[in-house]
């Protein structure tokens, strides 16, 4: 059996560290602040009503702007939700673009695979001929100088 490897050993002299210096303990004051206090305003829910002349933020943002003509709203049945839907021309353009891009991708993939199948034997044959040219009689040559 083989003996385990012997690793070199270093014997270092003992270390003596000086003692820590005595530092005075820091005195930190606790921070103080004057916090504002408010008396809560309790209003019963039945007394809440919208004041005349006030509008919601959404109404204020859309005030004076007509809705864009390319967006229609469709009401979803059994809900009160209206979903914006683009015009037919925009939807047809988007769908046509998506279909053409998918068709182009599938065609390019198929064409690439066919080209690989056709060109692979040609490249392999070319690589063998180049290898033969640089070797002697198809065997590897070595220099003995």
Using DSSP's 3-state secondary structure scheme, residue 123 falls into helix
Confidence of residue 125 (pLDDT cuts 50, 70, 90): very high
Confidence of residue 55 (pLDDT cuts 50, 70, 90): confident
Which carries the bigger pLDDT value, residue 14 or residue 62? Answer: 14
Question: Which DSSP symbol is given to 139?
Answer: B
Average pLDDT over residues 68-75: 78
d(CA 12, CA 145): 52
Q: How far from 51 is each of 47, 48, 54, 55, 65, CA to CA, in Å?
A: 12, 9, 6, 9, 24
Confidence of residue 143 (pLDDT cuts 50, 70, 90): low
In this structure, are residues 83 and 73 in contact, taking their beta carbons and an 8 Å threshold? yes
Q: Is the pTM of this model over 0.75?
A: no
User: What is the tens place of the pLDDT at every residue in 79-89?
Assistant: 888 888 888 88
């Amino acid at each position: 059996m083989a003996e385990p490897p012997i690793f070199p050993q270093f014997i270092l002299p003992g270390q003596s560290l000086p003692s820590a210096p005595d530092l005075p303990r820091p005195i930190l004051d606790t921070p103080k602040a004057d916090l504002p206090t408010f008396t809560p305003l309790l209003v019963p829910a039945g007394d809440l009503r919208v004041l005349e002349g006030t509008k919601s933020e959404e109404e204020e943002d859309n005030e004076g702007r007509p809705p864009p003509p390319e967006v229609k709203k469709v009401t979803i049945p059994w809900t009160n939700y209206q979903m914006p839907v683009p015009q037919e021309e925009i939807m047809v353009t988007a769908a046509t673009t998506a279909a053409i891009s998918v068709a182009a991708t599938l065609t390019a993939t198929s064409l690439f695979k066919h080209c690989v199948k056709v060109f692979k034997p040609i490249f392999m044959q070319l690589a063998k001929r180049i290898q033969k040219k640089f070797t002697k009689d198809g065997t590897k040559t070595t220099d003995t100088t």
